[in-house]
Amino acid sequence: MLRIDAKQLIENDELYYHQGILFTGIAFFLNTPLIEKVNEYSQGKLIGPYISKWLDNDKSILKVEIDELDGDGELQQALFEGKPFTGIGYDIDGGSCISESDFKNGWSGQEIDFHNDGKVQSILLMNDKLSEYVRFDGKGYVEEYKLNKFNDFNIELFYTEQALRTVRLNGDFFGRIHQDEYLLGIDVPDTLVKIKELVISPRLCLFGSGINDELVKAIIYNKTLGNTNSIIISGTSLSLGTIEDLIYNTKLTELRIRDKRTDIMLQLPCSLKKYKAEKSQCDIELNNEKII
């Protein structure tokens, strides 16, 4: 729904219009530098105060236009009227609210960004144990997902047209996450069964020491892997046998592997040369050197 400066609303017989149409959305009442109130409307009718799904809804919390803060809250402490800011900052650009962020003692924390039509673009939530981030495309499909459980693991997933394209994983995500720890409330491929049911992109990238045999075997069992023609593998914990299983279960035209492990490098070059002899159409590189 739209998220606009309340000055754009026109009231007539207790109904509110935006550009001649009964307004459904969120309206921000600005009294620079403060946001005096934020209301929600449906079909022109006032529903009441806007209730955020993500940030603090305490009525007493200070709300300001983010441009009124001195400092971004990331590289330098954000100040309001000379003091470290605690509250919510709204980014009002061209009459629309495109983000809302909370600040504590001048440092930004959770943040929600919006597309111009008011749909959620990205959400970053965090607590003292983890941070969780998701970015959506204009149709509401996940493009990027990140979960960082501090001092434990971190995972990043990237999608293209709803197909999994990249997994970047360090630590034991599948063994160390619990359902009650999630903050976003969205479906996450956090079991090997879910991995088997995903759609795999024609280009698949696997990065990080958390990429192990168990995970990749689940990918191999995924029926859509047969559509993958390009694979990049870098810095993983995969065994030689699993690397071979992965590439032989696809019809590759491109294969890039970066691996510095001594034990794997004793056998991997020979294995890739054998694969190249069988699949001459595949362009193969190992640690940036072509296999011919």
Question: pLDDT tens for residues 78-88?
Answer: 999 999 999 99
pLDDT for residue 176: 87
The CB density around residue 209, as the number of other CB atoms within 10 Å, is 12
Tokens of 2: 């739209």
pLDDT of residue 59: 86
Query: Rounded to 5 degrees, what are φ and ψ at 168?
Result: -120, 115
**Residue 149: in which H helix or E strand, if any?**
strand 142-149
Residue 156, exposed/middle/buried by CB under 10 A (0-12, 13-18, 19+)?
Answer: middle
Alpha carbon of 146 to those of 82, 107, 111, 224, 267: distances in Å? 34, 21, 14, 23, 34
Paired with 142 in beta bridges are 136
The domain ranges of the chain are 119-292
Q: What is the pLDDT of residue 179?
A: 85
* pTM, full prediction: 0.92
pLDDT < 70: residue spans in the chain: none
% of the chain residues with pLDDT over 90 = 93
Which pLDDT value is given to residue 282? 97
Task: Enter the tokens of residue 25.
Answer: 């959305």
pLDDT for residue 178: 86
- Reading the block at residue 21, the tokens are 């149409």
Distance CA 134, CA 157 (A): 9
Q: What is the pLDDT of residue 259?
A: 97
Q: How far apart are alpha carbons 134 and 3 in whole angstroms? A: 20
Burial of 64 (0-12, 13-18, 19+ CB in 10 A): buried
- Look at residues 225, 106, 80, 217 and name the one whose alpha carbon lies nearest to residue 165: 225
Q: How does pLDDT run across 132-169, given as a tens digit for each residue?
A: 999 999 899 999 999 999 999 999 999 999 999 999 99
Angle between helices 240-248 and 268-278 (to 10 degrees): 10
Do residues 132 and 126 lie in contact, with contact meaning Cβ atoms separated by under 8 Å?
yes
Give the pLDDT score at 292: 87
The pLDDT of residue 163: 97
CA 279 to chain centre: 36
- Give the pLDDT confidence score for residue 273 in this predicted structure: 96
